[in-house]
Amino acid sequence: MDHPERMMIPEAFESRKRKILAELSIPEAEYTDLSPKGSVDEGIRVLIDDINTLAGLVTTSSCAGRISVFLEGRKKQQQQEQVPEELQRQFVPSGGKGAGKWLYVSHEPLQDRGSRSMHEMFGMIRGDGRPPALNETGQAPRLVRFSFEPMILHIMAATLHHAHPVLSAASSSGFRESGLQSLRCLDAEDTDGPSPIVAVRSAGLSLESVVGYCEETNDDDEPIIRSLVTEEFLEMLVAISNERFSVNSERKERFRTNLLTLCSTSRAHGTKAKGKAKPPGWEDPETRRERMRAEGLLKKKLGENQTKEDSIDLDLSQPSLEP
């Protein structure tokens, strides 16, 4: 049975959690973070809300999973030597990490692209498939990488006791590379120091491929992003990524169910309650699917009614042809 002192939550953690939740409560139109999207992904918001209702846990960063096409940056040695190291860490050029640039990012499967080709969507010009030569200084070209990255989630825990169900749920749900980010939380002398942060992740679903390169031009001209692969090859990469999105969603839902079950069981044992108490707002997967289905049907019905009302108003506004 759990000892009461193991269930205690340090005030330092509660303060951190209040600050994080205050930031997450900002309307989506006004909320921004450091990701390319600039806000919490829609595909992971329900999971984040569920985790943040649990005592002793709060999410710090997340990605629901994404397809991305990224142009690498290149460090300029001469410029870096002139700038102090402290300032180098503070400033990152816009458009992506480092001096690179995001050419495409999607947190959902890529399906409806209309009449556009993959090359157009990813901002590349078709090439002949031949790799470029080194430039005059012997440098290789900046590469364009296509990637699929599965869900990654960072959860701060009040104590190691609160981190344990997160690690257990992650491991049993397929996120086998999950673990503690730092061992500073093991310092017994640090009474209210850093809270453990668990990284929930899986490398097995990741996919990366070089698909193009940057053809350098004069400083005043826009660089040319040239493809190294065919349209069919890009379509294959997208099809594989879409399949992995589906597996990623299944694992994410499994993690949600396992974590809520483990936390409710832990709470029940800690308070000597009978049965398995559920956290506020908890829903089993079937109930949640039914609720979301009902909400979807209601929205569809309201939309149809609005369309009918607009049609009636339009008919009444037409001049009568009767004498």
4-8, 115-119, 129-133: least confidently modelled range: 4-8
In residues, how long is the chain?
A: 323
Per-residue pLDDT tens for 211-228?
A: 999 987 766 677 789 999
C-alpha 308/C-alpha 300 separation (Å) is 13
pTM beyond 0.75 = no
DSSP result, 49-95 = HHHHTSTTEEEEEEE--EEEEEEPP---HHHHHHS-HHHHHH---TT
C-alpha 277/C-alpha 260 separation (Å) is 10
pLDDT at 191 over 90: no
pLDDT at 9 over 90: no
pLDDT at 271 over 50: no
Per-residue pLDDT tens for 104-129?
A: 999 999 988 888 999 999 999 998 88
**50 or 270, which is more confident:** 50
Q: With contact defined as beta carbons under 8 Å apart, do 161 and 196 qualify?
A: no
Mean pLDDT, rounded, for 190-219: 84
Q: With contact defined as beta carbons under 8 Å apart, do 148 and 205 qualify?
A: yes
Q: For position 92, what pLDDT does the model report?
A: 39
C-alpha 275/C-alpha 264 separation (Å) is 9
Q: Which of 57, 55, 27 is nearest to 39 (CA)?
A: 27
For residue 12, the surrounding DSSP H or E stretch is: helix 11-24
